[in-house]
Amino acid sequence: MPKTIRNEYYKKLTYQNLMQAHLKSRKGKSLRKEIILFNMKQEEYIMWLYEKLKNKTYKHSGYSEFYVTEPKLRRIEKSKYIDRIVDRWYVDEFMEEYFVKSFITNSYACIKNKGMHKACLDVQKAMRHCKRVWNNYYIIKMDVAKYFQNIDKQILYNILCRKIKDENLLWLTREILYSNGEQKGLPIRKLYKSMLCKHILKRA
């Protein structure tokens, strides 16, 4: 596995890869109005998106906001569907390929073949081990208040630059990272890019 990403942007930028990102993004959501409308002209939209990314004229469309109350009150920023396709392509082709494999074993959230269930099983396994070896143990449950809202984007970008040496990919990284026009805070989205960025910061 190369330590840095070089000259990969245009290799990964294909109509087929963008279409695959669309098919993944719509999974389980095909009855939503915005996706039904997109599906009616999906080949045209994907080709349009391909040209925008190829010519580096793609601009993120911004976000709409809504709140969820469970398990606690949180503000969610939702991007337009076509931007979520770009997010999915970016994550699948670059972040998973070059970043996820370098995470520590105990990174679970939003990682393929891991997640909450696997984390619970591993915690139970660790508890049994501690009980067997030391007979007593302690568990500390912790959370960082307003973690995503306080992420410094410049620090995150500098960390990403250690791995990404492809100027075209860095252009798209900046476009996505600063898509809400703010210097701090990552939008909390259903796509797991925000959580992967959290793992990257923790590892750094």
115: in domain = yes
153: in domain = yes
1: in domain = no
3: in domain = no
Q: State the average pLDDT for the chain.
A: 84
C-beta separation of 4 from 164 below 8 A: yes
Burial state string for 105-144 with b = 16 or more CB within 10 A and e = fewer than 16: eebbebbeebeeeeeeeeeeeeeeeeeeeeeeeeeeeeee
C-beta separation of 177 from 193 below 8 A: no
| Token pair for 203 | 């590892």
More confident residue, 41 or 30: 41
Over residues 74-131, the pLDDT tens digits come to 777 778 899 999 999 998 898 887 887 777 788 777 777 888 888 889 989 999 999 9
If one counts the domains in the chain, the total is 1
pTM: 0.79
4: in domain = no
Task: Quote the domain boundaries for residue 22.
Answer: 9-203
DSSP 3-state percent helix, strand, coil across the chain (nearest 5) = 55, 10, 35
